Amino acid sequence: MKGKRIVLGVTGGIAAYKAAGLVSQWTQRGADVRVIMTQSATRFITPLTFQTLSRNHVAIDTFDEQDPAVVNHIDLADHADLFVIAPATANIIGKIAHGLGDDMLSTTVLATQAPVLFAPAMNVHMYEHPIVRDNIHHLMQKGFRFVDPASGQLACGYVGKGRLADPEAITAAVEEILQEAPGALRGKRVVVTAGPTREPLDPVRYLTNRSSGKMGYALAEAAVRAGAETVLVSGPVGLTVPAGVRRVDVTTAEEMFEAVMKELPSSDIVIKAAAVADYTPMQKANRKIKKSGDQMALELKKTRDIAEEVGKRKDGQFLVGFAAETDHVSDHAIDKLHRKRMDLVVANDVSQAGAGFDGETNIVTVYDDQGEVLRLPQMSKTEVARRLMGLIGERVR
């Protein structure tokens, strides 16, 4: 933490007094801590407390410009290695989720390029309200981080989840983010495949699967953030391409095969997150197949296995595959890793709630040729991608 620049946003909740302990702890450990308070926060604890502990001016009013040489909220936004909001009320979470900047804290958060960590604290019913949960979920999908609140006796008298996380938990999250190497893959070229493929039966119908592409798109975004030149070979999905990513659109398994093989020679890392069809119709009808009879038989042929072919052709590339399973997950994943000469395989049990297709979260276990490497509980696909990219960066280095 020494030498790191942390901006702490303090909002108006009874837990605001606990933020003083965070400032004291981080400052003693060598961090340069700047505090922004909302007007409501000043009703719970004085700015002088934070000024004394941080040895820096406390920002409250957007228009209170202390230094005419800079715009204060932009200067603070640029200053940060990490932005922490603790306690984070439902109000500030909602404002940031909807891009609102109507005070010093919200405008600074919107202007910063640093990672942002929220530590929510509020009444249990507020925290569980569908709108608040949607706002938190939306922010997580955008890459914002959260430290879950603790459960227990709340200041309002209720018992439940909503207490500000313990200082140790918040500091641990801060340390983890500060230790991330944003340039861990700088100079590397990453190819990510994402989404389903569609295998046409006729001009109207096709065979496909339930993949949404969200995991692959999250991986592509994480790769760019880690400094890599990133190519996303995407099946047909309705997702926005992450900034800085070059997308190659494909539809069929054969098109995805050709696109990956074209990118392979110039790549350093290949991440096969797409759900590619294993079989395709033997023949595609030129006209719509009309309904006739009570039964219909389809004759299918096997598609070319992209991951297996990459494993055969790779020349120094680092290959990561995915294994979506419903039983004997570890056995199938490790077998797949060995057969296809993968360096890592990311396995999930898609029959588990929170780990299936088309969801916003995932539950994964990562294996290498020695066995289990990393086990992640249910978390957003954005967070899973960030953790996986950190592991890949370590292995590649």
User: What is d(CA 169, CA 183) in angstroms, rounded to the nearest whole number?
Assistant: 26
Q: 381 labelled as ligand-binding? A: no
CB atoms within 10 A of CB 205: 15
Pairing outcome for strands 361-368 and 371-380: antiparallel
Q: Tell me the C-alpha distance between 265 and 289, whole Å.
A: 41
- Is 322 marked within a binding site? yes
340 is annotated as contributing to ligand binding = yes
User: Which amino acid is present at 127?
Assistant: Y
Q: Which helix (H) or strand (E) holds 380?
A: strand 371-380
188 known ligand binder: no
Question: What is the SS3 assignment for 379?
Answer: strand
For helices 104-111 and 72-79, angle between their N-to-C axes, nearest 10 degrees: 50
Q: CA distances (Å), 389 to each of 192, 229, 366, 397, in order? A: 12, 13, 12, 12
Residue 78 parent element (H or E)? helix 72-79
- Give CA–CA dist 170/21, Å, rounded: 11
Q: What does residue 292 show for φ and ψ, rounded to 5 degrees?
A: -155, 130
Residues serving a catalytic function are: 156
Pairing of strands 300-302, 279-281: antiparallel
Is 278 labelled a binding residue?
A: yes
Residues in binding site for CTP: 278, 288, 322, 336, 340
Residues in binding site: 278, 288, 322, 336, 340
